[in-house]
A and B are shown apart, each in its own frame.
Chain A
Amino acid sequence: MRHLISMLLQNEAGALARVAGLFASRGYNIESLTVAATHDEAVSRLTLVVFGDDITVDQVVKQTAKLVDVIDVAEFTRKEHLERELSVVRVEGGGPALDDYLVRTGARLLRRENGQAIVEYTGGTDDVDGFVDGLRAIARLTDQARSGVAAIASQESRTGSAPALR
């Protein structure tokens, strides 16, 4: 099943490589990974999506929690959380139907150039999938970039300040 793992990491050279390397060395394909500094610039937040059975993902999370650079790690899969993914898509054609679609879905037109449009949509992963499918029905997709998931726990299941895991 899909697992969403959130991690706070010391913002240091090599730290991201060690986390990604740990997943790679255990044969895990990372479905998506986002990373950026948090409000504390010495700390980065990583959000990872991996697919696998619960026991093996639990083991790789425990192994990750041993890395010296890792401040805290938590699995959001079964915790209440908010997750968002950004998609930027270049399309050709579409005409007025495209404008209607953008308004209806709450997407944004970023730019028109040479008969092409670059549009932006933000939502949950499934929403983004749905948006792109709908877009494909009315215009020709020529390029696409997705950010991967960024997630944050809701108040009750918040991770962050107290790095106590198991």
Chain B
Amino acid sequence: MTGADIVVQVIADEGLDVLFGYSGGAILPVYDALFRYNQTHALDDGGDRLPLIVPANEQGACFMAAGYARASGRVGVALVTSGPGATNAVTPVRDSMADSIPLVVICGQVPTGAIGTDAFQEAPIGTIMGACAKHVFLVTDASTLEATLRTAFHIARSGRPGPVVVDIPKDVQNAPLVFHGERELPVRGYRARLHAVESATPDDDACRAFFAALAAAERPLIYAGGGIVSAEAADALRDFSRAFGVPVVTTLMGIGGFDTTDPLALGMLGMHGTAYANYAMDDCDFVFALGARFDDRVVGVPDKFAPKARTIAQIDIDPAEIGKVKAVHWHHVGSLDVSLRALTAHGRRIGFAPDRRAWHAHVAALKAAHPMNFCRDGDLIQPCAVIEAINRITEGHAIITTGVGQHQMWAAQYFDFRAPRRWLTSGSMGTMGFGLPAAIGAQFARRDLTVIDVDGDASIRMNIGELETVTTYGLPVKIVVLNNAGDGMVRQWQKLFFRGRFSASDKSLHKKDFVRAAQADGFEWARRLDDAAQLEATIADFLAFDGPAFLEVVIDPDAGVYPMVGPGASYAEMITGEWIPSRHVPVAQEAEPTGMF
């Protein structure tokens, strides 16, 4: 076998059923090996066993692989060429690192002898990606290729998941090699640390200390992050929450880790969290952080976060997250799923059942007094009304992807999510252009579910070339663009913090006709909606269409995202807007941007 054959064989052995990538000179041997593999391993219906999905560019390919990974929980794979192919992959690699998404990006590289000569399409991927990925391998010794590839998958999916880049010079791809079918690299430090965290469960002393603190608390609150989703710990979280009556707030990345329709669910917290989640965090006396990293969009000012909490407890698989932002009183480093189950079992064994009626009544009162809401009359279409209309049909079962900005926050606030891996968003990096390619990847992972990209007019422009990818592969992806003629979130900040100087955020003079663009890319169902009276009927028609569908909704350009905890402000200073009752007198908006944001 050649090195390229080995690349394909290892990918096939990993059980992948789809790959994403864009070709080029330095990756051609692998593309050729893939062609030959698909010829000799054809499915019964004649289809490819390892279909390769070709996007408009490499950023699209890698976001598709990331969307596949986010929706399926498996490792996504992208194959790109050297130089510009690989540098186009930097953004999705960093995005996946920031959100802990398992991804393997295989890059072609110029031949070993040409490395460092400024050869055609050469870029120092090891150095560039080293700062962005969980790990980067440059395979200079062909005999290590097979072990390196298998190790790359292992590193991507194990511990705190993340992206791994394998840079393979062209001569290594062409080298004659023997396939062994099992080898991995030693990476002994990594394996030792992994073994330590994977085998760690809170011992009896730790469990006793935890429940003693929980027993002393009257208002405990779970703060669940993306780790719940990564660790497949949603069931363990539900069991714990119900067993001991602890309400749950989630981060943006934790959405779907706890059924948003559960009575104990308080939705998202943080900068654009629900008012009742943020008030509950202000009122609680015990914070239990699960796979959450006290991100600045959640915590704001660390000293003012959870000001009444006498105990902060934390479980995370990453030791570096313990006490990083807030000091914690109890912590455990280990797998969330295993650790939570161990704690739940201990609590049940000791018959832990404190009376939480007062706290539950308090939380229910917060939800009743400060519900999410927006302007429900007027001629302009409100973005949240669009989301509510979609949600009435999908009922929390669809996969929702988003770009980044206001539409992302509205979707986070107004959709229901009954299960994990239905909410795919660029959380930490905040990458505009994520939504469309991620939706494509997700649809390949879950052909049984409706996949909807809720996008903004500015975000979708970033990767609008992928519209054609949707129709090329006949994917029934639904794309809804909330068009407010500009960078809505930027405009909101300019309005609040830059005295209304809308520098370069207005796109009202731009000429893009989104519907015609979609039609040009082969969308049979492509419409623009600007009449509020037609909202329900159009959404129903849009979702019912059997195939790719594109809907542009012209929304109220002044609609803002509320609640909002301004930069450098505490939850007590949260602005709830016109339609959500606040429990504080509104703070005058004279804030200036702080150094942090």
Instruction: Identify the A interface with B (CB < 8 A).
Output: 8, 10, 13-14, 17-18, 21-22, 25, 59, 62-63, 65-72, 163-166
In the assembly, what is the distance between CA of A72 and CA of B134, in Å? Answer: 17
Contact B320 A13 (CB under 8 A): no
Pairs A–B under 8 Å by Cβ, sample size 7: A14-B130, A17-B130, A18-B130, A68-B134, A68-B135, A68-B187, A165-B193
A68 contact set on B, CB distance < 8 A: 134-135, 155, 187, 189-190
Q: Give a binary string over B145-171; 1 marks a CB under 8 Å from any A CB, 0 the rest.
A: 000000000010000100000000000
Q: Give a binary string over B125-138; 1 marks a CB under 8 Å from any A CB, 0 the rest.
A: 01100110011101
**Chain B residue at minimal CB-CB distance from A62:** B320
In the assembly, what is the distance between CA of A68 and CA of B131, in Å? Answer: 13
Contact B189 A70 (CB under 8 A): yes
In the assembly, what is the distance between CA of A141 and CA of B140, in Å? Answer: 45
Contact B319 A59 (CB under 8 A): no
Q: Give a binary string over B311-336; 1 marks a CB under 8 Å from any A CB, 0 the rest.
A: 00000001110001000000001000
A70 contact set on B, CB distance < 8 A: 189
Contact B189 A72 (CB under 8 A): yes
B196 interface residue (CB < 8 Å to A): yes
Number of A-B contacts (CB under 8 A): 58
B188 interface residue (CB < 8 Å to A): yes
Instruction: Identify the B interface with A (CB < 8 A).
Output: 126-127, 130-131, 134-136, 138, 140, 155, 160, 187-190, 192-193, 196, 318-320, 324, 333
Known contacts A14-B130, A59-B320: A164-B187 contact under CB 8 Å: no
Select which of B127, B131, B196, B324 is within 8 A of A59 by beta carbon.
B324
Known contacts A13-B140, A65-B320: A164-B127 contact under CB 8 Å: no
Contact B192 A163 (CB under 8 A): yes
**Chain A residue at minimal CB-CB distance from B192:** A163
Expressed in whole angstroms, the minimum distance between the Cβ of A107 and any Cβ of chain B is 38
Expressed in whole angstroms, the minimum distance between the Cβ of A75 and any Cβ of chain B is 14
Select which of B131, B192, B333 is within 8 A of A21 by beta carbon.
B131
Expressed in whole angstroms, the minimum distance between the Cβ of A38 and any Cβ of chain B is 14
Contact B138 A166 (CB under 8 A): no
Expressed in whole angstroms, the minimum distance between the Cβ of A68 and any Cβ of chain B is 4
**Chain A residue at minimal CB-CB distance from B130:** A18
Expressed in whole angstroms, the minimum distance between the Cβ of A60 and any Cβ of chain B is 9
Expressed in whole angstroms, the minimum distance between the Cβ of B153 and any Cβ of chain A is 13
A10 contact set on B, CB distance < 8 A: 187-189
